């Protein structure tokens, strides 16, 4: 399938373009205005490099060593030493999509004309993305201040033809060999270029944008799961009525409640326990448990938090994060100035907020699931949804799996961004830990998808057990998706782990959401 190249210009890349490059392998190209901006900034750097006045990042050392003036003949070595020494990561390799995201975002900052790199250096970074060459970046090394120094340095090292990379097929090869195979030549970094390549929040930002994309899908999927649970537990949909949501006007809550109402529309199971002349009054219970009744309040608050995070991410995508930066006036005259824009606090905070969101949405999902399994609370369903309770355990241990994950998500919700630690001889004495916040958020999002998948799996079994009453068309389509994917309905115990993993795949791919939307249209 052909895919149009992503244009990287002076302005920000979009969420959608980042996902296409990071996950779908889209090629990139620099626009003419970006190349012109790069050239203008480079002219400023070269003029300063030729002068006698020391300029930080151009003719001095770095960090706590910034007071040393570096003579011209040693500046190429200065750049090589910077990148080699800062490529100090340790631990497992970071995922390909994360590395591609951070490379794209570094390229986006280079394209603003604020960093002072040469045109060829920016172009080589674009070429690596286009050819699917992915530098090996390690799990540990970033403090999220002066940006993601170690991860970005591993990428800069590859531009120099050093270190290891994964080629387009995923094979581990020396960077020099991968460049040669693609017909690319390594660069010898010139003044200012080393700092420009490594001084950014690109890793944590890339992970934030991808987490937002995942959570937007997962929160709608959680609405699907909640609707299946309310329906399967003979709950009422009256509490989701728009007039009740309007008196507490949180936008996410209204959207989630509207989704639940749409998902449950036309359910014979729901209709079976209504009474009154218009069949609109729920007759069995005065109130459902919080995990059912308050699903829109929790899912809605999660949505609003995700959208706040998206606002922050949008601002960061529009930023030129480097230190020092090149400032060019309308007359073409320029200067280089130090700043603190590399500090990851704005990104780190929302990464931590989203870990809280993932933990709480998973927690309420697990509570809804547990209610199916307790015959004292499930309104006529067999214990643990077992075929022959006592001989069979049904979904008893599936809930254990959920509980294990939820407990882990609570630990991951402890913020990383409050855990500053000093470095660089106290020059960098307050850091964001944004990279760490992003790494744990990825685990949180994965855990949330697994908890929701178990709820969908369990709710589908319960809906089958309500026969001959039928679920709504939308939730029934989800049940049919599971059954057509090899996940059997109620019956004697069988190996449950493969069914859980199959359900996880259907949730993570968006198939569960798509099944419901195929009946009622796009959820909000």
Is the distance from CB of 109 to CB of 202 less than 8 angstroms? yes
Separation of alpha carbons 416 and 362, rounded Å: 20
Separation of alpha carbons 22 and 202, rounded Å: 12
**Residue 173 forms beta bridges with which residues?**
165
Is the distance from CB of 443 to CB of 213 less than 8 angstroms? no
Q: How far is residue 239 CA from its own chain's centroid?
A: 32
Q: Which residue has the tokens 């993601």?
A: 148
Which residues does the annotation mark as catalytic? 56
- H/E segment holding residue 172: strand 172-174
User: Using CA of residue 433, residue 439, residue 443, residue 448, what is the dihedral sign?
Assistant: positive
User: Taking Cα atoms as reference points, which of 152, 156, 188 lies closest to residue 76?
Assistant: 188
Residue 499 structure tokens:
């069914």
Query: How many C-beta atoms lie closer than 10 Å to residue 152's C-beta?
Result: 30
Residue count (the chain) = 524
Separation of alpha carbons 343 and 503, rounded Å: 40
Query: How many C-beta atoms lie closer than 10 Å to residue 53's C-beta?
Result: 8
Separation of alpha carbons 277 and 424, rounded Å: 74
- Backbone dihedral region of 491: left (phi > 0), alpha (psi from -120 to 50 degrees) or beta? left
**Residue 164 forms beta bridges with which residues?**
174
């Amino acid at each position: 399938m052909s895919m149009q190249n992503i244009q990287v210009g002076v302005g920000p890349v979009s969420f959608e373009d980042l996902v296409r490059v990071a996950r779908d392998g889209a090629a990139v190209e620099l626009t003419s205005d970006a190349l012109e901006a790069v050239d203008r900034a480079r002219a400023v750097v070269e003029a300063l490099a030729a002068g006698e006045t020391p300029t930080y990042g151009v003719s001095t050392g770095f960090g706590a060593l910034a007071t040393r003036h570096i003579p011209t003949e040693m500046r190429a070595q200065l750049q090589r030493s910077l990148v080699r020494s800062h490529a100090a990561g340790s631990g497992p390799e970071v995922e390909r999509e994360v590395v591609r995201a951070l490379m794209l975002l570094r390229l986006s900052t280079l394209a603003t004309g604020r960093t002072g790199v040469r045109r060829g250096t920016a172009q080589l970074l674009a070429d690596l993305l286009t050819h699917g060459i992915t530098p090996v970046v390690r799990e540990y090394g970033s403090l999220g201040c002066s940006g993601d120094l170690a991860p970005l340095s591993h990428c800069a090292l590859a531009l120099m033809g050093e270190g290891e990379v994964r080629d387009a097929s995923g094979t581990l090869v020396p960077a020099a060999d991968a460049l040669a195979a693609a017909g690319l030549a390594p660069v010898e970094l010139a003044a200012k270029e080393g700092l420009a390549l490594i001084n950014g929040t690109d890793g944590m930002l890339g992970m934030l944008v991808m987490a937002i994309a995942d959570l937007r899908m997962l929160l709608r999927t959680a609405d699907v799961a909640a609707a299946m649970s309310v329906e399967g537990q003979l709950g009422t949909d009256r509490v989701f009525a728009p007039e009740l949501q309007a008196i507490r006007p949180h936008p996410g809550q209204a959207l989630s409640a509207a989704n639940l109402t749409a998902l449950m529309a036309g359910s014979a199971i729901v209709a079976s326990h209504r009474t009154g002349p218009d069949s609109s009054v729920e007759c069995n219970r005065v109130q459902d448990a919080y995990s059912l009744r308050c699903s829109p309040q929790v899912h809605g608050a999660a949505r609003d938090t995700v959208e706040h995070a998206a606002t922050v991410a949008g601002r960061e995508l529009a930023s030129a994060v480097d230190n020092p930066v090149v400032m060019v006036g309308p007359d073409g005259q320029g200067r280089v100035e130090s700043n603190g824009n590399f500090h990851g606090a704005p990104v780190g905070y929302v990464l931590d907020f989203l870990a809280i969101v993932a933990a709480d949405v998973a927690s309420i999902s697990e509570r809804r699931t547990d209610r199916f399994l307790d015959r004292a609370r499930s309104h006529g369903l067999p214990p643990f949804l077992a075929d022959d309770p006592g001989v069979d355990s049904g979904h008893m241990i599936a809930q254990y799996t959920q509980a294990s994950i939820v407990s882990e998500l609570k630990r991951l919700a402890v913020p990383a961004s409050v855990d500053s630690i000093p470095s660089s001889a106290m020059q960098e004495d307050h850091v964001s830990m944004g990279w760490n916040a992003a790494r744990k958020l990825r685990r949180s999002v994965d855990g949330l998808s697994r908890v929701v998948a178990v709820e969908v799996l369990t709710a589908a079994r319960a809906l089958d057990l309500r026969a001959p009453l039928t679920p709504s068309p939308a939730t029934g389509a989800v049940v049919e998706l599971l059954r057509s994917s090899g996940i059997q309905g109620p019956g004697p115990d069988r190996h449950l782990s493969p069914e859980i993993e199959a359900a996880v795949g259907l949730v993570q791919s968006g198939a569960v959401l798509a099944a419901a939307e195929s009946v009622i249209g796009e959820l909000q």
